[in-house]
Every structure is written in C-alpha cells, then in structure tokens.
C-alpha cells in the first residue's frame, strides 16, 4: 500500500467510512471532487437515492454513492454529491414519505450551497405518483429529475446506469430549468404531470400518451428539450392527507365499495365509465357519501380524455378530475386537502392542471 492509499484510508476512517464498499465508493467520489480546475466549472448535482430496482432489489442494495461510483462518465458531466433518503421498493412508498422527500428537496434548494439540480433514484412501481406529487410541492425552478430501472444491476443489460447518467445530464442542463419535475428512462424525458408506467417489464414502459409524448430526449451526450410543460400547479401544504381512496367502476358495480370507503376515507377518486357514465345506483351512493362531507372526484377509467359532470353530480358537489387519470387525481387530493377542503377551490386546481 503506497502513501497515497494510506492517506486516503486515514481520511476515510476520519469520515467514518469503515466498510470496503463504502470506502471504495467514497474514495471515487473524493477523487471526482478533487479533479482538475475544469471539473470545478461543472454544475453541482445532488443524487438522492430512495431504493428500487435501480439499486439492486426493491429494498435497495446499493447506496447513492455506490450507484454513482459505477458510472465513471459522471465526472465529465457534473460535480456529484449523494445522500440516501430511503432504501425501499417503491411499492412501499406512502404519501407521508413522499411529502418528506419533497420537503427534503426544498431544503436542499434553499441551502446556501444549493445544487444546480437534483436527481432522485426511485423504483418504477409508484414513480408516476411520487414524481407528480413532487411536481406539485417543489418550489424551486431548478431541475429535479427522476431516474429508475426496469432491470436490476445484477443483469448484464441493466438499464439503470444509462438512465442515471442521462438523468444527471438532464439535471445539469440549463434547458431543464423551469420545466418542473422530469422523468427519464430509455433516452426519453417526460413531464411528471403526464408520464405513466404502461408496461410491467419493458424498457420502454414510461409514456406520456395524453401529454403529447415526451418533452425531450437525450441524443448521445446532448439533452434536447423541445417544450416545457405549462399545465402546472404549486401547493404548500403543512401536511398531506393519505386517506384518499381510488375506486374503479366495473360492470355490475352497485355502490357498496363507495359506501364502505367513506367509513374511513376523507376523499374518494372514482374512475367512472367513458366521459362520466354510471348506473343510477352509483350516483345514489355518491350522494350519500357527499352528505357525510366526503370529497368525491370523478375521472375516466379509460385513462384518456376529460370527464364531464352530470346535473345530478354537479348538484351533489362532485369534482371533475378533468383529464387527470385516477392515480394523479388521487395525488393531487393528497396534497390539496392539506391546503383546503372547499370543493370550488379543489375544482380550480384540477382545471388549472387541465389548462383551463
């Protein structure tokens, strides 16, 4: 072991890096931070890890530092710092955790040494929900970009490293400023408001079918953003309301699930047929839960197109989810009910996100 290695090991010991893997990852990050003067001109990017397939398994075998250490090309793109927010599969995400994550991102951007952008590594299962909630809650116009993977690092053709590298490229790009929260997988850049997971295992799983497609793409090392999302809303709740249920009408639905959900839910998002259709018995159940003060939002179960409310639904105080799908409509209520319970104000939020 040479003098340089001894010095690095002593320095790592002072920092509390005792395991071989954490030492190796940290030394690589240290070398990146002590790079040439040209590297000092690169933008600073914070990588915040939450777990997911990109980190190895649902519980996240690899830390943020480990993920970065596996991609030497990052040293040419940005000055990287890392932190681990959680190590869970995104199927275990909760509104409370998502709110904490949003607050942490706001804290980072408000700090004196705020990064130029932030990349969040996340599982794909609830990625569309977490990214949308953060789009509603993050106050800075600096880039926030989600990266994920459909194949874990143990597979030779894992898409994680490429997606993470591309996410850092996007977060470091001046083009991404003011574009809201973005999601990048498979070389495409999507707006959080529009993106959906459309396939269980395909690398091309994330699409924005009703948002006009991706807002941009990565061409080699170049970030190309063709348009910035306009249908956006920023909320500042002190707390979120997790007791929002999502129900889907099916042939033969009789309203019993709606009545049952109202026993504990503060709000219900109901995916109705087509443009707003339902059997009379369903509207009767909705009327009963509205009398109890439960907020009800209609969206279409087709996950495409806008809902229109009937005269009866309007009279009951039902809210139109406009063209948001059920998952996004629920997340909007999770955040918005921390601000207001006024149906008219809540309706205005949905209309703003619909571009009305």
**Which residues are bridge partners to 49 per DSSP?**
84, 121
User: Backbone phi, then psi, for 257, in 5-degree steps?
Assistant: -65, -35
Encoded tokens for 352: 């703003």
Inter-residue contact 213 to 174 (CB < 8 Å): no
Nearest in space to 72 (alpha carbons), one of 108, 117, 39:
39
Nearest in space to 196 (alpha carbons), one of 185, 206, 183:
206
> Radius of gyration over alpha carbons of the chain, in Å?
22
53 catalytic residue (yes or no): yes
CA distance 203 to 26: 30
Bridge-based pairing of strands 144-147 and 181-185 is parallel
Inter-residue contact 29 to 65 (CB < 8 Å): yes
The number of angstroms, rounded, from the C-alpha of 159 to the middle of its chain's C-alpha atoms is: 18
Inter-residue contact 225 to 175 (CB < 8 Å): yes
Helices (H) and strands (E) in the chain, counts: 12, 14
Nearest in space to 239 (alpha carbons), one of 110, 84, 102, 129:
102
Inter-residue contact 81 to 115 (CB < 8 Å): yes
Inter-residue contact 175 to 227 (CB < 8 Å): no
The residue annotated as part of the active site, out of 50, 53, 124, 130, is 53
Positions marked catalytic: 53
């Amino acid at each position: 072991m040479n003098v340089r290695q001894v010095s690095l090991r002593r320095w790592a010991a002072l920092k509390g890096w005792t395991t071989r893997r954490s030492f190796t990852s940290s030394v690589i990050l240290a070398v990146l931070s002590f790079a040439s003067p040209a590297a000092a001109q690169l933008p600073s990017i914070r990588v915040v890890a939450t777990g997911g397939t990109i980190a190895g398994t649902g519980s996240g075998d690899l830390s943020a530092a480990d993920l970065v250490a596996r991609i030497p090309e990052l040293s040419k793109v940005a000055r990287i710092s890392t932190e681990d927010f959680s190590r869970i599969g995104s199927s275990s995400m909760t509104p409370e955790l998502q709110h904490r994550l949003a607050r942490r991102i706001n804290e980072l951007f408000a700090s004196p040494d705020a990064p130029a952008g932030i990349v969040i590594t996340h599982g794909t299962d609830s990625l569309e929900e977490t990214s949308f909630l953060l789009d509603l809650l993050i106050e800075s116009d600096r880039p926030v970009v989600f990266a994920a993977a459909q194949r874990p690092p143990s597979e030779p053709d894992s898409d994680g490293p490429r997606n993470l590298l591309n996410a850092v490229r996007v977060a470091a790009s001046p083009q991404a400023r003011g574009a809201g929260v973005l999601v990048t997988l498979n070389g495409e850049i999507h707006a959080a408001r529009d993106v959906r997971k459309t396939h269980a295992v395909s690398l091309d799983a994330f699409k924005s079918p009703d948002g006009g497609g991706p807002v941009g793409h990565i061409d080699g090392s170049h970030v190309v953003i063709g348009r910035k999302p306009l249908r956006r809303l920023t909320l500042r709740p002190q707390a979120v309301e997790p007791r929002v249920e999502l129900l889907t009408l099916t042939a033969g639905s009789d309203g019993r699930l709606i009545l049952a959900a109202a026993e504990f839910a503060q709000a219900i998002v109901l995916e109705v047929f087509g443009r707003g259709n339902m059997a009379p018995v369903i509207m009767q159940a909705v009327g009963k839960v509205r009398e109890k003060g439960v907020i009800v939002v209609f969206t279409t179960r087709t996950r495409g197109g806008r809902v229109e409310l009937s005269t009866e639904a309007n009279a009951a105080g039902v809210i139109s989810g406009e063209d948001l799908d059920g998952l996004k409509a629920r997340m909007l209520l999770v955040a918005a009910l921390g601000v207001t319970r006024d149906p008219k104000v809540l309706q205005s939020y949905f209309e703003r996100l619909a571009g009305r």
